[in-house]
Every structure is written in C-alpha cells, then in structure tokens.
Amino acid sequence: KMNVEIKEGLEGIIACKTSISRVDIEDGKAVLEYRGYNIHDLARYSTYEETAYLLLFGELPTKKELKAFEEELKDLRDLPAQIIGLLTHLPPFTHPMVVLRTAISYLGSMDKEKHFMDYEHSIQKAKSLIAKIPTIIAYFHRIRTGQNLVHPNPDLGHAENFLYMLKGEVPDRIEARALDVDLILHADHELNASTFAARIAASTLADMYACVVAATGTLMGPLHGGAAQKVIEMLREIAVPWRAEEYVLKKLERKERIMGFGHRIYRNVMDPRTIELRNLAKKLAKMKDSKWFEIAEEVAKAVYKHKGLLPNVDFYSACVYACLGIPDDLFIPIFAMGRIAGWTAHIIEQYVNNRLIRPRALYIGEKGKKYIPLRERG
C-alpha cells in the first residue's frame, strides 16, 4: 500500500547521501561548507580552480597538484572547430543558456568515450567541461555581436581569462577577483534543483554530457538560476532608489514573486553566499560609480519590511555582474560556469554509489473508465 504523505516540491526530503557540500542551520545561522570547508574561508582565500579541485577530488590540492590542475584546465579551454561552427549557426537571438545546453550536447556527440563512466574518464570530462564552458559563453557573445573571437590566454586564470575573452581586454585585478569569488560562491549547493536533475540523469547511468544538459535546462528557470537575470531587469525597471518601495508594494499586491528573494532552505536566516555577494556588490558599485547597489538595497529593505523575505544568492550577484559590464542574458550562463564543478562532482558521486532515482506519485485522476471505440464516440 502506498504511503500517502506527500511533500510537495520534495520539501525537507533527504534523497541521497553526499560528502560534497553541507548546508545547515546552526545556532540560528546558516552554514555552508564544501567538503568541510566554510564558504567564507573559501571566498576569502581560495580561487575557483582550487575550489573546483576541492569539489572534484575531496581535498584541497598541494601547490604542485593545483599547478598541474590549472595547466590542464588551460589546455582544455579551446573549442573544436565544429562547436565554433555551431555557435556561428545558431540564431543570434538564441538565449545563451540554450546555446550552452546545445553546445554541451554537441561536445557529447563528439566524445567517442562519452559512455565510459569510470572515475578517470569522468574526471577528465569534468575538467573539459569546466574549461570549455567559459569559452562557449564568451565566443557566442562575440559572434552574436559581430566581434572577432578572442582566444583563451594561458597566462590568465579562469575568471580573468573569461572576462578577457568576453571583452577583448585583460580585466583589472579587482574585477577578475570579484568574478573569481562569485564563481566560488556558485560552485555547489547541495541538492538544488539543477544538481538533483543531474543526479537523476546520472542514476539512470546516462553519460556525463546528458546529465549536464539536464542540469543546464533546469538551471535556466526563473525560480532557480533564471532569477539573476530577472533581478537586473527589475532593477532597470525601477531605475531610481526612491521608486523601489512602490514597485515592491505593487508586486506584492498583485501576488507576484519578487525575484532574488526567498529560499527553500534559508527561510529566516541569511544565505551565507548573499553576505559575501552583498559585500562584493557594494565594493564594485563604489569603484564603478554604479547605481545598482543603491537601488538593490532599497528593494531589499522594502521586501523585508512588507513580506519578511531575505535576499538570496541571485540578488546581489546580479549587481556584481552588472558592475562588471556583463550583458543581462549572460548572468545565468555565469551561474552555470560556477556550478559545473558541483554538477560534475555530484554526477561522479552518483555513479560511484548508484541507485536509480525513481519516486512514486499519488494518482488523483479518474480510474477504471470504460473505453469507447472511436467510431462510437462521434
């Protein structure tokens, strides 16, 4: 007999064991750790490359291991000519997340070893995806705007090289570090929707590209990573700080969701990533003389006052990207650029200790109806 207790949205359900990241509420404060290391320490001291290594291999690298990992990523940044051809052929109005999904699928079609799921092959594919996603995003943007491609520069780190390929000039150190920290903060987050999608695909023993395509499709929705793009669209609409409260009130009256607020896990506690991103956004706004942070602060105040909701990771990351001069529709792809380390680590964890993920549904439709042949139905 079926257990009829349903948790809509699987809220509070523990669906698997993991040793990749931990989210807990301790003494009224939220804690987020990757492989046992606190997110605040990682944001302060780590780099995206080191964090990706940590997520994939479970331990912080030695100096030598990190150097070797960074070199491998650099060697994997280039895209096969066919992928560049694909980027050229896709309509320029295609959303870059759709481009990313399609290009990852194409990479899968080109990998003759895609069905090898052993640890070594999986790690190799993970490195390749981590290295290539920034190139896919930057190249597509250059192509759609009619600019020459800026090829990866092996003298530059992961975040720095992405900004270089996107804009055609080496970013200053503060900008490069801001994106680096942002990628660290987005690198993993337990069983969020896109990671769960990746694990469901992995649980069927689908290949890694298929799993990442599932995750990419899931991340795009506005209740997940899509919120970051909606946040900047909202800030642009509000345009001046004094209009924020009125905007928020109108939205709430219409029972509409305000993007960048609320979280399934961080109900009444601040998301630790939001704290870091708010600091980053504040610093960048000052440096760039940008208005986005000031407007964002007014929105946050109003949403808290009238609905008691706190900002989530997508809220201030939108301000960070806007200050870095990143086009609005690249916000979600940059989330993917960070999260790919977590997705691949989770896919590998699922492969290693697999059981098919296949829950049940409570049927609430009609039962046992008599079939009437078409000719008698009129």
Which of the residues are catalytic?
263, 314
> Taking CB under 6 A as the rule, does residue 52 contact ligand CMC?
no
Between 47 and 312, name the residue whose CB sits nearer to ligand CMC: 312
Smallest distance, Å, CB 194 to ligand CMC? 8
Query: What is the DSSP code (8-state) at residue 253?
Result: H
Residues in region 9-38 near ligand CMC by CB under 6 A: 9
Smallest distance, Å, CB 15 to ligand CMC? 16
Residue 354's closest CA among 182, 204, 177, 187? 204
Which position's Cβ is nearest ligand CMC?
A: 262
Between 359 and 368, name the residue whose CB sits nearer to ligand CMC: 359
Q: Are 287 and 177 in contact (CB under 8 A)?
A: no
- Say how far apart CA 151 and CA 173 lie, in whole Å: 20
- Say how far apart CA 333 and CA 325 lie, in whole Å: 15
> Taking CB under 6 A as the rule, does residue 298 contact ligand CMC?
no
Contact track, ligand CMC, 303-332, x by CB under 6 A: ----x-x--xxx------------------
Smallest distance, Å, CB 342 to ligand CMC? 12
Element (H, E) at 26: strand 21-26
Angle ∠(13,352,80) on CA atoms, nearest 5 = 105
Tokens of 255: 């029972």
Between 9 and 325, name the residue whose CB sits nearer to ligand CMC: 9
Q: What residues form DSSP beta bridges with 31? A: 24
Smallest distance, Å, CB 313 to ligand CMC? 5
Residue 307, CB half-sphere, CA atoms under 13 Å: how many? 21
Buried b or exposed e, range 157-166, using 16+ CB within 10 angstroms: bbbbbbbbbb
Query: What is the DSSP code (8-state) at residue 36?
Result: T
Residues in region 235-264 near ligand CMC by CB under 6 A: 257-264
Q: Are 265 and 214 in contact (CB under 8 A)?
A: no
Residues in region 165-224 near ligand CMC by CB under 6 A: 192, 223-224
Between 209 and 331, name the residue whose CB sits nearer to ligand CMC: 331
Smallest distance, Å, CB 251 to ligand CMC? 7
Q: Which chain residues interact with ligand CMC by CB under 6 A?
A: 9, 192, 223-225, 227, 257-264, 307, 309, 312-314
